[in-house]
Amino acid sequence: MIIAAVGFVYLAPESFTRWAIKQVRRRAGLIRKEIDLPGGLHYVYLEGGKGEPLMLLHGFGGSKDNFANVARFLTPHFHVIIPDEFGFGESSHPLDGNYTPLAQA
């Protein structure tokens, strides 16, 4: 079993990574969602939990999955929403977008 697991990591690292991310999301009770906005923009986010809404915003160069491990402690108490900001992760990367730190702030 251990040899098979190690082989999976080395022979199919992308598949293993996708599987591992799904497991972390599942453990936190997060569901991947997406919406299409006017102008062709695509927005992807994670959502889960119950209670008061709590939005977690990643920093420059991050993605929604930066919070997946922490979210499992928050979803029992809050309705957690974790977006991929435009230009990062799975959301749209508009060519005319301003991705400087000042604009992102």
Report the predicted TM-score, pTM, of the whole model to 2 decimal places: 0.77
Right CATH for 2-104 from 3.20.20.70, 2.40.30.10, 3.40.50.1820, 3.40.50.1110: 3.40.50.1820
What 3-state DSSP class applies to 27? Answer: helix
Per-residue model confidence as pLDDT tens digits over 6-53: 666 666 677 877 888 898 889 999 999 999 998 888 989 999 999 999
Residue type, 8: F
**Residue carrying the six token digits 């979210």:** 71
